[in-house]
Structure 1
Amino acid sequence: MKNINKSVLFLSAISLLLLNACKKDYLNVTPTNLLTAQTIFGDSVLTEVYVVGRYTGVQLTSENAGPSFQRGFDSPWLSSITDESIHTQDNGSFIVQQGNVTPDNASFLTNFWFRSYRSIREINYAFANIDNVPMSNGTKTRLKAELHFIRAYRYHDLIRAYGDVPLVGDKVWGLTDKDYTPLFTRSPKQDCIAYAVNELDQAIAGLKNAKLADGRASVGAAMGLKSRLLLYAASPLYTDGQNNPTKWAAAAAAAKAVMDLGTYSLYPNYKAEFLTNKTSEDVYERVYSTSVQHSQLELLNGPNGYNGWGGNTPLQNFVDGFQMSNGKAITDPSSGYNPQDPYTNRDPRLAQTVLYNGHPYRGRPVEFFLPGGKDSKDGIANWNTTLTGYCMLKYMDENLNPNDPLNLYKDQTQTQPFKYIRYAEILLNYAEAQNEAVGPDNSVYAALKLIRTRAGMPEITPGLSQADMRTAIQNERQVELSFEDHRYFDVRRWKIANVTENVPAYGVHPVKNADGSITYTKFVALANRKFADKNYWMPIPQSEILSSGGLLKQNPGY
């Protein structure tokens, strides 16, 4: 076995630096700043700390970029490798946008593999020791359920990134093992989803009546993730284009089960939902402590005229997806859309998601116009100017201060949560799966009505065909779930990425005329966006292929 010591699958270091005894006397020195496995799993309090640490404990790089439990808002978001946004400073996102990802260089996408398998190994380590911990059976059952949930979430990340992946079971693999073949054998993606769903079923059983702190698993969180996984399992990418009504029906039933809990409802204020902890809509979220410095969201993504750094800047491609307030697409000649007055009478979620020229923000209208706009390249810090004529508003807290260039991190600690699973997603999961299973019945319209009524939008046009309803649901997901790590995977599972990702990344140039009026001109903000069939799945890191001695097979095309 070549380079076996490099594989994250079985040699990732245990978090909290668990120690193994060393046989060499001259090396057998116990550092005083490390905890032994005997200490951690000999104490019920430390065991619980270890389990809680598995939610967010894996950090393989200094960057916070990446999906799921690592979502820290820094650097490029997943949106910036889709048709939602691009990143002002690139930071490894352009190679994905332009189709140049390789097994040796997948930018921050590599973290899917390494972080997930390292976490799975840490979870397996806990399972191997937890039965010996002195604690009540009830507490032990709950902690095991949390571990099942986290392990399912890690596999969910792996499956939607790579498709077929190795299922490593409960074993903690190490150097004393002789046959590592199971670690390098990729199971079919449908089997992988079935495994993750079984993990979630065990989590659901063990979490009944459990009341845990914000950010930890619950019955609803496990059921919500099950809904998402079964929706993926029914989607064209996962069924190789073969429509399977039974799978769609299972996905609809999983979403309906969450709806029937009666626990969740849409939060009345869409914009405030993303600034508020523990709302009625939150099925599963990550919360942040105000006592610990982490991300400076407003600084990283705000307009340069407010001393912001631009960051993840929305695309015209994305903005064009918002309908007019009458429910018609801007491409409909009867919609009333005026490209020279582009933000009037639009879906209210546009003004709650995107900063555009003239949008009120922190006491003045945003000025992306040229010449002379405070937030344009004529303003301060022109290297941080938006690349697209837009900046981010969703997640932005105007009570946090990015206007202190001499003390950039003062009063800027991110407090807003990240919503991994919202009730709006559950409703959209149900509408999509039910439409595919039986067509656009009344329950599909009812689910969409809840979302659109909260947004201030009219109901979906009655009497749509199944195909037209499919298009309507895809558009609703694009708008409602924007910048929440969905779009990258949605366009792939629907197998429309060959369309959405093969057009330029567009922006808009607002030009101020002598009479004070503004002329808007569409332009290419990032050219050469490319998507090939191989890009439906990410490449497995080349280091892992080499570490397996060639047993681990690469995704086709790489």
Structure 2
Amino acid sequence: MRKIMTNKTSKYILLLICSMSLLSCEKFLDKQPNDMLNLDQVFSIRLETERYLANVYSYIPDPLVCNGVNYTPLSDEADWVFNWPHQQINTGNWSPVNTPYDIWSKYYKGIRAASTFINRVSECKECDELNPGITVQYREEARVLRAFYYFLLIRQYGPVTILPDVPLAIDAPLSEMQLPRNSYDECVDFIVSELDKAQQVLPDKQSNTREYGRTSAGMARALKARVLLYAASPLWNGNTDYADFKNKDGKQLVNQVYDQNKWRKAAEAAKSVIDKMPEGLYKKNGTDGKFDPFLSYQYVFLDRWNTEVIWARPMTGDAVRWERCSAPRQINGYIGLGPSQQLVDEYEMENGMSPFTAASTTANPVINPASGYTETGFSTTATKFTKAGIHNMYVGREPRFYATVGFNGMDWVYKGADGKTIIRVELFSTGKDGYNGSNDHSTTGYTTVKYVHPESDVRNGRHVLKSWIFFRLAEFYLNYAEALNEYDPQNPDIYKYINLIRERGGIPSLPEGLNQDQIRERIRHERRIELALEEHRFWDVKRWKIAEQTDAAPIYGMNVTTGTSFSDQNFYKRKITESRTFQKKHFLWPVPQYEIERNTELVQNPEW
């Protein structure tokens, strides 16, 4: 069942994403639910009903606000200079009573708001008079959002409490509010069933650009596939580390028996996403009219609502900070989002070979001589991506590297008052963007160019609109390959979809004849590159149960406290930029202490 909106209705639907899109909804920013009205009144008035739905949407996170809740600096992908709460987590200085990134209360508020809307929206007769049946679509949009908020909770806290479908009354007896946790599998089953319901009603994608950002069947399908992938992964599939993770009545919260069939479900769900998007990965041609891997990857994140995007959040006013946090100080940026040496080392050479051997570590790299990589000297000739004089470690890397990581001596392109302008990034200590000049500097000797538009003018506060992508097709190529490798490791689709990612990235296909373990490592490597800085890595290493190795290791970068010129070799030495702590309990966030005290049926997460 699909409802097509009239142009008149679309005008009001802007309210649904008013909190997410500054420029398209600026005049609606003050239109929050009217607290002076009771719910009977709210759902008898179309405009108030739509305001209520806008409020349900308002809980969607905004990772482009770099000083907000972004999980990238918690991973081994990056080290951010800013003294924000992520540093408490990285150093182990947190507890149930002092919990950075506490999202528990926020998303339960969003869930309750969604549940109220789902149960009351049919009362809006005025809504259906304007567009018959529209309340059904509104209801299913809220259902998808509720499922999304539950996913964000179980991703961070593990099994949570599934609230009654009809929210409890404010004056309900205290005993009715004391609810235990559901098991992880019960949470997954509930989320999946809700998404299946919504897919029967919502359109596959929003056809009107004014309605982008709203949920759709495509988004529900993608969320289902990601939820099932997480559920199949080692952290939640027969994890005996959680054998004692039980409710007070003894109920087991995490299954103790590995189920390979979960990988089959994850593979099928990912394939259903792929099959609905036969146009494939986004590609862009260069000025010569030929396919350009660099531009193709760069503009996946800059060409708003391109064909690869399944669901994204429109940029808010605060989201321009991502570009300012990434940009050099020379153009009034903060240059504080520093990719790690671990991430830099992961990128292949343009010939598709790794720069390092399997025995290599970040602290003690063992160079693969066949790759052409070297960590000494400077280039004498220019290439497509580097000018003469660039340190050789940045020369000849794959195109995705140059669309993600900014490095010492690179050209930073931005649109100044007189059109395009280029500055050379100076990350060495005495450089214009270096350590000595300001507290705003890269701790790793790198900065971020992903999600930074070359037409933006950071110096004068003019930014090209973009969207934070929550779901894009490339992820599901990788999800599908990962799930197949665990369930059906001989399936040729594994190679097919990994190689489609690599082909768009401008590097050769995988070598034939890899075994299951080798393919698993290549998939994890490919995820790290393709999905870099998109908030996947932090959760991936947890669900794979390797975070005790990756996230307990120190973060490395260049020697940013030294260097007086681009050619000063002292700058290009590997140094620890941050020592980190990761204990077994850190696989999950602690349930906030205020919630444990309020709900006596809640058990705390293991070891907290």
**TM, length-normalised to structure 1:** 0.86
The one-character-per-residue Cα deviations of 1:141-163 (angstroms, maximum 9, x if unpaired) are 21111111001100110111111
The yes-or-no answer on 1:338 pairing with 2:336 is: no
Of the three residues 302, 314, 320, the one matched with 1:295 is: 320
Check the 8 A contact 2:72/2:538 in 1, yes or no.
yes
Check the 8 A contact 1:324/1:335 in 2, yes or no.
yes
Report the counterpart of residue 578 of structure 2 in structure 1.
Answer: 526
Of the three residues 59, 63, 69, the one matched with 1:71 is: 63
User: 1:389, CA displacement in angstroms?
Assistant: 0.3
Report the counterpart of residue 280 of structure 1 in structure 2.
Answer: 307
The yes-or-no answer on 1:248 pairing with 2:307 is: no
Report the counterpart of residue 44 of structure 1 in structure 2.
Answer: 46
Q: Counterpart amino acid of 2:498?
A: L
The one-character-per-residue Cα deviations of 1:392-433 (angstroms, maximum 9, x if unpaired) are 1101123222224xxxxx424x62100000000111110100
Q: Counterpart amino acid of 2:301?
A: F
Of the three residues 227, 230, 249, the one matched with 1:229 is: 227
Give the secondary structure class of the aligned counterpart of 2:61: helix
User: 1:263, CA displacement in angstroms?
Assistant: 5.2
Mapping for residues 72-471 of structure 1, pairs under 5 Å: 72-75=64-67, 77-107=70-100, 109-111=101-103, 113-134=104-125, 135-136=127-128, 138-181=133-176, 184-208=179-203, 211=206, 213-241=211-239, 243-262=258-277, 265-268=280-283, 269-288=296-315, 295-332=320-357, 333=368, 334-340=370-376, 341-362=392-413, 363-370=422-429, 372-379=430-437, 382-404=438-460, 410-412=461-463, 415-471=465-521
The one-character-per-residue Cα deviations of 1:471-504 (angstroms, maximum 9, x if unpaired) are 1111111111111111111100000001101110
Check the 8 A contact 1:168/1:182 in 2, yes or no.
no
User: 1:208, CA displacement in angstroms?
Assistant: 4.1
Check the 8 A contact 2:231/2:262 in 1, yes or no.
yes
User: 1:37, CA displacement in angstroms?
Assistant: 2.6
Check the 8 A contact 1:356/1:366 in 2, yes or no.
yes
The one-character-per-residue Cα deviations of 1:205-236 (angstroms, maximum 9, x if unpaired) are 11146746100111111101111001011000
Output the CA distance in 1 between the equivalents of 2:312 and 2:232.
25
Check the 8 A contact 2:34/2:48 in 1, yes or no.
no
User: 1:272, CA displacement in angstroms?
Assistant: 1.1
User: 1:442, CA displacement in angstroms?
Assistant: 1.2
User: 1:305, CA displacement in angstroms?
Assistant: 2.9
Report the counterpart of residue 586 of structure 2 in structure 1.
Answer: 535
Pairs aligned (count): 505
Output the CA distance in 1 between the equivalents of 2:394 and 2:52.
49
**TM, length-normalised to structure 2:** 0.79
Check the 8 A contact 1:167/1:183 in 2, yes or no.
no
Report the counterpart of residue 22 of structure 1 in structure 2.
Answer: none
Check the 8 A contact 1:492/1:536 in 2, yes or no.
yes
Q: 1:533 to 1:310 in 2, by over 3 A?
A: same
Output the CA distance in 2 between the equivalents of 1:304 and 1:243.
51
Check the 8 A contact 1:166/1:182 in 2, yes or no.
no
User: 1:104, CA displacement in angstroms?
Assistant: 1.2
Output the CA distance in 2 between the equivalents of 1:429 and 1:313.
27
Give the secondary structure class of the aligned counterpart of 1:439: coil
Q: Counterpart amino acid of 1:478?
A: R
Output the CA distance in 2 between the equivalents of 1:46 and 1:447.
46
Q: 1:468 to 1:515 in 2, by over 3 A?
A: closer
User: 1:347, CA displacement in angstroms?
Assistant: 2.0
Q: Counterpart amino acid of 2:166?
A: K
User: 1:506, CA displacement in angstroms?
Assistant: 0.7
The one-character-per-residue Cα deviations of 1:233-279 (angstroms, maximum 9, x if unpaired) are 10000113454221101100001111111355211111111112110
User: 1:469, CA displacement in angstroms?
Assistant: 0.5
Output the CA distance in 2 between the equivalents of 1:256 and 1:209.
15
Structure 2 portions without partners, runs of 5+:
1-30, 240-256, 284-295, 358-367, 377-391, 414-421
Output the CA distance in 2 between the equivalents of 1:53 and 1:266.
33
The one-character-per-residue Cα deviations of 1:366-393 (angstroms, maximum 9, x if unpaired) are 11124x32211244xx110111101111
Output the CA distance in 2 between the equivalents of 1:264 and 1:139.
30
Q: Counterpart amino acid of 1:218?
A: S
User: 1:541, CA displacement in angstroms?
Assistant: 0.8
Check the 8 A contact 1:324/1:346 in 2, yes or no.
yes
Output the CA distance in 2 between the equivalents of 1:199 and 1:165.
16
Output the CA distance in 2 between the equivalents of 1:512 and 1:93.
28
Output the CA distance in 2 between the equivalents of 1:101 and 1:193.
28
Give the secondary structure class of the aligned counterpart of 1:431: helix
Q: 1:319 to 1:246 in 2, by over 3 A?
A: same
Check the 8 A contact 1:88/1:313 in 2, yes or no.
yes
User: 1:168, CA displacement in angstroms?
Assistant: 0.2
Give the secondary structure class of the aligned counterpart of 1:427: helix
Report the counterpart of residue 65 of structure 1 in structure 2.
Answer: none
User: 1:350, CA displacement in angstroms?
Assistant: 1.1
Check the 8 A contact 2:481/2:523 in 1, yes or no.
yes
Q: Counterpart amino acid of 2:431?
A: G
Check the 8 A contact 2:408/2:566 in 1, yes or no.
no
Q: 1:361 to 1:168 in 2, by over 3 A?
A: same
Q: Counterpart amino acid of 1:399?
A: E
Segment of structure 1 superposing worse, 143-152 or 329-338: 329-338
Check the 8 A contact 1:75/1:311 in 2, yes or no.
no
Percent sequence identity over matched residues?
31
Q: 1:118 to 1:515 in 2, by over 3 A?
A: closer
Structure 1 portions without partners, runs of 5+:
1-14, 20-33, 59-67, 405-409
Output the CA distance in 2 between the equivalents of 1:266 and 1:357.
31
Give the secondary structure class of the aligned counterpart of 2:311: strand
